[in-house]
Homo-oligomer: A and B are copies of this chain.
Amino acid sequence: MPRTPVWKSIAETLSEEIAKGHYRPGDKLPTEAKLASRFGVNRHTVRHALSDLTERGITRSRRGAGVFVQSAPVEYPIGKRVRFHQNIRATGRLPDKNVLRIETRPCDATEAAALALSEGDEVLVYEGLSLSGGAPIAHFISIFPTVRTPGLRAAFEEISSVTEALKSIGIGDYIRAETRVSAERASTTQALHLNLRDGEPLLRTVSLNTTPDGTPIERGITWFAGERVTLTVTPDSVTPG
């Protein structure tokens, strides 16, 4: 088995200490000199470990001020009602969206099956970035059957929240029927969008939202920055209410 490089095991030790709360979000880590002395290595090795933590989003380096612990990952409940703006607000951060694309096109066979449409039926495509406290945490592409969501395209020109846009066209409630979660590596484009390095791990969810009577209205694919977001599943979060 290959030997773990020293900088890597230092990075692991520090990230475990952060995970356990020995250093908390906002805390400044000890100086390079102090860490070098603690681990019995030179400052170059410490710098390597610290830049690894920063690249992984665990710490943030502020020039001249030191290295600080980043906020904990955003906890994102996957329940019966999944609402982006509400989920982010619940963490004390400001939710926002950057819209990348709003357009209509014919749906393909997979989308038709998911949305109970015929292949080639028109869908509205809404693509963008989800921000939490100004930082991008996810890239999403949602599609809506235009026949069931008249006026939604115009609504999205004004309103970035899916919940609010649907409400504005008379769809007051919707329910998460299914979420499928896998992991994949960020593409070059996604890495640029999400401030990640190429190939960083993403959590990919494919979701189906329906009206309360079970009519599909949205199929969404979302790629969450996998080390910044934790999806939580509890029986309670999926119980009606």
Where the two chains meet, the residues of A that have a C-beta atom closer than 8 Å to any C-beta of B are 1-2, 4, 19-21, 73, 75, 78, 80, 108-110, 175-185, 188-189, 192, 199-203, 224, 226-227, 229-235, 238-239
Contact of A192 among B1, B179, B188 (CB under 8 A): B1
For A1, list chain B residues within 8 Å (CB). 188-189, 192
Residues of B within 8 A of A181 (CB): 181, 203, 230-233
Given A177-B235, A181-B203, output 14 extra A-B contacts at Cβ < 8 Å: A2-B188, A19-B110, A20-B110, A73-B182, A78-B233, A80-B235, A177-B234, A178-B233, A178-B234, A180-B233, A182-B230, A183-B202, A185-B200, A199-B199
Given known contacts A20-B110, A233-B233, A238-B233, is B185 in contact with A201 (CB within 8 Å)?
yes
Looking at A1, A188, A189, A224, which has the most chain B CB atoms within 10 Å of its CB?
A188
Which residues from B are CB-within-8-Å of A184? 201, 226-227
Q: B227–A183 contact, CB under 8 A?
A: yes
Residues of B within 8 A of A200 (CB): 185
**Beta-carbon contact of A203 and B232 below 8 Å:** no
List, in ascending order, chain B residues with CB within 8 A of A201's CB: 183-185, 201-202, 226
Considering the complex of A and B, which 4 residue pairs feature the smallest CB-CB distances, nearest first? A183-B226, A201-B201, A183-B201, A238-B238
5 contacts between A and B (CB under 8 A): A20-B110, A180-B232, A182-B230, A183-B224, A238-B238
How far, in whole Å, are A182 and B147 apart by their CA atoms in the complex? Answer: 36
Q: Are B203 and A182 in contact (CB under 8 A)?
A: yes
Residues of B within 8 A of A232 (CB): 178-181
Q: How far is the CA of A232 from the CA of B208 in the complex (A)?
A: 12
- A2–B191 Cα distance when bound, in Å, is 12
Q: Which of B2, B180, B185, B229 contacts A230 (CB 8 A)?
A: B180
Chain B residue numbers with a CB within 8 Å of A178 are: 232-234
A215 CB to closest chain B CB (Å) equals 16
* Nearest B residue to A206, CB-CB: B230
**Bound CA–CA A234/B235 (angstroms):** 10
In the complex the two chains form, what is the Cα distance from A229 to B62 in whole Å? 38
In angstroms, Cα B77 to Cα A197, docked, is 31
Q: Tell me the smallest distance from the CB of A79 to a CB of chain B, in Å.
A: 8
A56 to B185, CA, bound (A): 10
Q: How far is the CB of A8 from chain B (nearest CB, A)?
A: 9
